Each structure stands twice: as C-alpha cells, then as structure tokens.
A and B are shown apart, each in its own frame.
Chain A
Amino acid sequence: MSAAAHDYSHFVQYRADGSAALDLILYDVDCAACFIDIENSLKSVPGLTNARVNVTYNRLHVDFEPSKITADAIIDRLAANHYHAKPFRINDAEEAERARSQYLIRCLAVATFAALNIMLLSISIWTGGVEGLSPETRDFFHWLSALIALPAAAYAGQPFYKNAVDGLRHGRWNMDVPISLGIILALGMSVYETAHHGEHAYFDSAVMLLTFLLLGRVLEQAMRKRTRAAAGNIAALKGKVAYRQMADGALVQVPVEALEVGDVVIIRAGDRVPADGRVEKGSSSLDESVITGETRPRFICAGDHIYAGSLSLDGTIEFRISGAGQSTLLDDISQLVEKAGAARSHYQRLADRAARFYAPVVHATAMVTALIWLGLGAGLHMALVTAISVLIITCPCALALAVPAVQVVAAGRLFHAGLFLNSPEALERLADIDFIVFDKTGTLTRPEPTVINAADLSTDMVEAAGFLACNSRHPLSAAIAQALPPTRLSYAVNEVSGAGVEAHVNGEIWRLGSADFCLIDDEQRVIDRTLSVIYLRRGTRTAALILSQALRSDAPSVIAALRAFDLPMMILSGDHEKAVQYCADQLGIENWHSALKPADKIAAIQELTHRGHKVLMVGDGLNDAPALASAHASLSPISAVDLAQAHADCVFVGERLAPLYQAVCMARYARRLMQQNLALAIIYNLVAVPLAVMGYVTPLMAALAMSASSLLVTLNALRLHRIGLSLRPMARAPRTSHAAHPAPMDV
C-alpha cells in the first residue's frame, strides 16, 4: 500500500499556454542561506522555468512545463537535497487579504504624495503671509492645492466612503460616516473659499487626515495578512493525505482536500479518518476523542458512520465519503452552532459604540455653532465657515485611531506568542470575560495519550516496553514510545495482528499488548474498565502500562495564574466520570461535569450567561463547536477539528496552554489602553471644540492639533510592547512535564 502513487494535480494550476505553476511550503528549512541553495538546485532541472523562494512566508513558487516534469518529480528532487516541501494552494481568504492590503497601500501612497505636496504649498502660504505673499500668488497656490487634493481624496478616500455608505444603508452609524463627511465638507468649503479669493483653505488638513487614517488601516491590514498567511501555512502542513480507491481497485494517495463525496477511502491502523462517511468493509476500534471527548474507543463495522478526525486504532477499514446532511451527529451539531452563533452577532465593537455616541454630538455642535453665529448677527458665510471648521477639527482622527492602533500592537504581540485572532473584535470580547469553561480532552490535556504510570515501573521494564513499542505500528505504541526514554536495543520483533508485539531476547519472551497475549493472571489485571491499559511481559515478570491523555505541561501553572485573576473555572467534558475527575483533581478545579452531549454543554454555558457571566469557552472537539459559538469569547488549540476552529475567536499553536493566559492578560491590558486612548481623544475635543466654536481655528492650527492627537494615541498604544506576558514559574513542577515545545512561531 505504501507504493501507492501520489496525485498532486489538485495543487497544480495549469495555464492556457500549457505551462503550470505550483506553490510549496518549505519546512525544516532553518539555515539563512538555504533558499539560495534551493533555487540553484532547481535551476538545472529540465522543464522547470522558474523557482523562487519567499523567505518571509517559507514558501516556494515554481513554474514548470507539465509535459516535461511532474509535480511529484519536483518534490522528490527537493527531498533528494534534504529539503522538505509540501504542496498547497493559497486559499481565497488569503488572496483576498493580500489584494485588500495592496489596495490600501496604493491609497496610502496617493494620499501621502498629495499631503506632502500640499503641505509644501501651505507652508509657503503660512510663512509667506508674514513676508507679504501677494493675493494672486496665494490664490494660485490654493488652486494648485485643489488640483492635487481633489483627485487624491476622490481616489484614496474610497475605503472610507464605501464603508460609510454601507453602514448607512444598513442603518448603522459607524466611524467612517463622520470621517467621510468631514473630508468632503472640508474640501467643498476650501474650493468655495478659493473661488472667492478667501484667505484660508483646508486642503492640507483634509488630505493629512486621510493619510493618517489610511496609515492606521494599512498597519491593521498588514497584521491580518500576516496572520492569515501563517494560519494558511499551518493548515497546509497539517493537511493529510488519504488513500483513495480508484474504479479499477488501484490505490492513489491524494491530499484530503481533493476528496469528493462518493470516493472510497482506505484507512489503516494509525490513520486519522479524513472525511465523514459510512464504513463499507472491515472493522476497527475508533478513538473518537476529538469528536465526542470520550477517550474509550468505539468498535465500528460495516454500516456505521465515522467522522473526520477520529483515529483508527487497530483494523483496516474501507469507507465511502458521504455528503453533508447524511449523518445525524453532524446535523445536530450544525443546527446547534447556527442557533448559538446568532446570539453573538449582536456584539458591538468599542469603536462603533464610540462612533454612535460621538457623531451625533459633533454634528449637533456644528449646527448649534452655525445658529449661534447667525443669531449673533454674523453673515451666513461666517456662520458656515465656523460650523465647518468645528467639523474639521473634531474630525475623529485620534478617535478613529484610538482603538485600531491598540489592536494592531496587541495582535502583533499575540502572533509572536503563537496566538492568531480570527476576528477583529475577539480582543475586546476576551477582555470582558469573567468565567472560563474548559473542555478536557485535547484542551487541558494533550490530544494524544501517553503512559501516566511510567514512574512506577522499574528501569528494565521501561526499557523493554520502549523497545517493543518502537517497533510496532499500532498507534498506542507510538504513544508509549514517546512517553518512555529512547532505547537502542535491536532484536527481531514480530507484530501479531490484533494482539500485540513479541520479541525473543536471550531466551526470554518479551511481549507488549493485550492481557491475554501477555498471559497476565486474573488478579494482576486492572479491573477498572474506564482505563486503557496495555500489558507487558519480560520473561517471567509482567507490568501494566496505563494510558491516558496527560495534562498539557504547563496547565497547572496556567490555571493557577488565571485563578489569581479571580476567574471562576469549570470543566465540561464529554469523557467519562473517572477521567474528568482525575484531571480536575490534578488542576484543583472543583466545578466539573462529565459525559456531556453538545447540547448539554450549550445549556450549561447559557445558564452561566443567564446568571450574568461572560463566558470564555476553551475547546477543540466537534462536540465543543456549538459551545464555542455560543460563549462570549472562545479559544481553540490548532489541533482542533475544523468546525471548532472556525467558531473560535482565536486559535493557539504549540503544546503549551500558556497562550490562554497571555490572551486574557493582553486583552485586558489592551482594553485599558483603548479606553485611555478614547479618553485622550475626548479631552482633545474638549479643548479644540470651544476654540473652533469661537472661530479661532486656522488651517495651521487644525493641521497641528490633528497630528499631535494622532501621535499621542499611537504612542500610547505602543506601550503594549512593554508589558510582560511570561508566566511566573510554579514552585512545584508539573508531574507530566517533558519535551515542552516553545510556542512562538515566526513566519
């Protein structure tokens, strides 16, 4: 079966002229100069027309002629030079972020060009006023400014105008409405003033405002693009292959993405099920802990439904992929998710709440100003000019930057800590939470089982178990081999299907497997049926290895650190009582429930919500997806099933749980800075508006005030770089600590 052909055609993009392109992700490439070596090694390959590495994203793009070389051969060629590459397809979401990013940078370039040139003219006007600039020259400069500002604002302001129109159409009053109104009114009034030989024009202020705001949006978008690309890389590296059976019975190795409804797929012991479907032939024990949280395996045979993500433990099965709507479990879960998600979409972001309060106040102030000046006997022209200058000076430059600036810095720091934000408001929702609900399997514990009683075994028994496990293909053997220290023995090993592994060593028989296979006496068997046990025999001595999902290495210290925040915690698990109790006891969480169905989890979260709690749900299984969608905020490990990840606000990578603590810390600090920034913006307005109302605001003042306030909130946001996110080490080291991988990943 290992000789099955690869089929990478899913990833190759064929062009009309007969050439083709392929994108690959490089992994395990860690030397700085490797990419040049990679490009050079591909240069001489016939049929390859272009190979270029993107060092920032660890990707390789190749153009080739499919008639001369296959995608398979290119990957083999790289592998021969010890470079590992995995084909992938840049997904639509990432492409969209990239296009959006380019568009915003273009707008920023145009706005910056216009702002700098207009400023040059404006400075001449301002200083020229002292030395006696003739009115003709001033008018000429104003007209030139208009010539630059009008097309630039028409082009570069589009992101704001579009958002404002969209918002108004849906009856929402967002921050882009006052921005667009301010820019358009400032330009309109300036043109009017210029045409009437007025002394003041506001072209510089309007375009500078646009530049500052675009700069904020470009930075925000760059962060999003980077997160999306990193997530895309991780997803592609996680992407698995499956053995598809063709009509003629041949097996072809295809990427899981290329599987279609109706395909027949073969699953061997140790494989994960790539898609949902119904078993046609064979039987196996299935570890469905990713789906239900239950760690005891389920026996399946022909006719049973199986779900993507479950792990086949012993037998080989053949199954047919079924479409959506054909399995009851998935239907139930999708319905629950839909209901749960609707409640959360009402969340309103801090910036939008500020805008809703802010815009009417500003517009009313401008109106009242015009009326007062009219009432005081000033001309219509004077009243309008003053009202518009109120709008310009209050134009929410600082206010519009107050929240995004903090968000960009926070998302950047979390990115380096191994945490990706799925939605822009995730950070704000994370800051609100006052209750944490955990799933157990795969969240508090590691997704794969390990030996939990290794410390109780004698050294030579551990050695024997490690050796036998290393030489077995059974998935539980891999768990045993990883949990025990490496051994360097080499003897012949037999794998006895359905029973275990056996070796003859110096006249002794060593066996690892079921109780019967290892000839275990009745009184030595572990009676507790909730534990998965593997037995070991070394000559005359025997031992029982107890397998369980061990806690993530830093889970106890993370729980302790979160407790210091006064956050009550609860475990909601689909697993059986004993397993949950064991885990809860280790962590000291008193509040736990076991054997829950997805609907029970939602009910528990809704009850907490009714009691006034804002719940953070942390979970990874298919059974957690509805709970993730219904909670106020949610977090998933990267090992979670797709549906769970899609409904989580953020996803963290790595074996450690620390990103949870970092996310909560960062969110709370970020919210404090956002509030400070909003307060700064309001103080600025309290000072500037009275001056504008009294008619003292000149274009120079408007420009200075706007830059200063924007700079102030941005600098305040940068303070986020200075807070510490590391956990204080616990006095007592966690029991199960070994091989903790550092979480940060740099892309």
Chain B
Amino acid sequence: MMAVLVFMIPLALALGFIGLMAFVWSLRNGQYDDEQGAARRILSDDDLKQADMGHDAHH
C-alpha cells in the first residue's frame, strides 16, 4: 500500500501544482481584467462571418 502512495500522491500534487501555475499565468496575463467583456466576446461570431465571406468569394 505504501509503495503505491509514495508514487501516486506526489503525482497528484504535481498535477494540482500545474493547475495552480496555469491559474497564476492567466492572472498575470490579464485574463481577469475584463470579466464582462469576456462574457460578451464569446457570443460574438465575427470570426465566423469572416470565414463565411471567404467561403462566398470562392463561389
């Protein structure tokens, strides 16, 4: 039992630590500076429109 714990727990901690680092990175990157903007941006389909227009141009 001990052997598997010695292996598994540090592994679990390391995975958690990666998550923590990812959060700190996103914080420093300014991902939480504009919560309302992020909520609205996801509803915008501008990128789709451009793809569609490119599509139309081919035909």
Q: Which of A55, A109, A137, A140 contacts B40 (CB 8 A)?
A: A55
Kindly identify which residue among B20, B33, B35, B41 contacts A109, using a CB–CB cutoff of 8 Å: B20
Q: Which of A29-37, A351-359, A569-577 contacts B (4 or more CB under 8 A)?
A: A29-37
Looking at chain B's contact residues, is the secondary structure mostly helix, strand, loop, or mixed?
helix
Indicate if the CB atoms of A56 and B13 lie closer than 8 Å.
no
Closest chain B residue, CB of each to CB of A747: B36
Tell whether A258 is near chain B: CB-to-CB under 8 Å. no
A348 at the interface (CB under 8 A from B): no
A125-167 interface code vs B (CB 8 A; 1 in, 0 out): 0000000000011001000100010000000000000000000
Additional A-B contact list (15), CB under 8 Å, known A109-B24, A117-B16: A33-B40, A35-B37, A36-B46, A53-B37, A55-B34, A55-B40, A56-B35, A56-B36, A56-B37, A102-B27, A102-B28, A106-B27, A110-B20, A116-B16, A144-B13
* A144 & B40 in contact (Cβ 8 Å cutoff): no
Q: Does A113 contact B (CB under 8 A)?
A: yes
Q: How far is the CB of B28 from chain A (nearest CB, A)?
A: 7
B residues sitting closer than 8 Å to A (CB atoms) are 1-2, 5-6, 9, 12-13, 16-17, 19-20, 23-24, 27-28, 32-37, 40-41, 44, 46
Answer yes or no: A459 CB below 8 A from chain B CBs. Answer: no
Within 8 A of B (CB), among A1-44: 32-33, 35-36, 40
| A residues in contact with B2, CB < 8 Å | 136-137, 140
* Residues A33 and B44 in contact, CB atoms below 8 Å apart: yes
Determine the main DSSP class of A at the interface with B. helix
In the docked arrangement, what's the CA distance between A436 and B26, Å? 48
Partner of B46, one of A40, A113, A136, A144: A40
| Residues in A whose Cβ lies below 8 Å from that of B5 | 137, 140
Q: Which residues of A contact B28 (CB under 8 A)?
A: 102
B11 → chain A, closest Cβ, in Å? 12
Bound CA–CA A82/B41 (angstroms): 21
A54 within 8 A of B: yes
From residue A400, how far is it (CB to closest CB) to chain B in Å? 24
Contact of B33 among A54, A116, A117 (CB under 8 A): A54
Contacts of A40 in B (CB 8 A): 46
Find B17's partner among A36, A105, A113, A137 (CB 8 Å cutoff).
A113
Once the chains are docked, how many angstroms separate the CA of A395 from the CA of B6?
34
* The one of A36, A54, A106 that contacts B34, using a Cβ cutoff of 8 Å: A54
B24 lies within 8 A of A55 (CB) = no
CB-defined contacts of A144 to chain B, threshold 8 Å: 9, 13
25 contacts between A and B (CB under 8 A): A36-B41, A54-B33, A54-B34, A54-B37, A55-B34, A55-B36, A56-B33, A56-B35, A56-B37, A57-B34, A102-B28, A105-B32, A106-B24, A109-B24, A113-B17, A113-B19, A117-B12, A117-B13, A121-B9, A137-B1, A137-B2, A140-B2, A140-B5, A140-B6, A148-B13
Complex alpha-carbon distance, A536 and B28, angstroms: 64
> Whole-angstrom distance from the CB of A118 to the nearest CB of chain B?
10
Q: Which residue of chain B lies nearest to A35 when distances are taken between CB atoms in the complex?
A: B37
Say whether A36 contacts B44, CB under 8 Å: yes
Chain B min CB distance to A49 (Å): 17
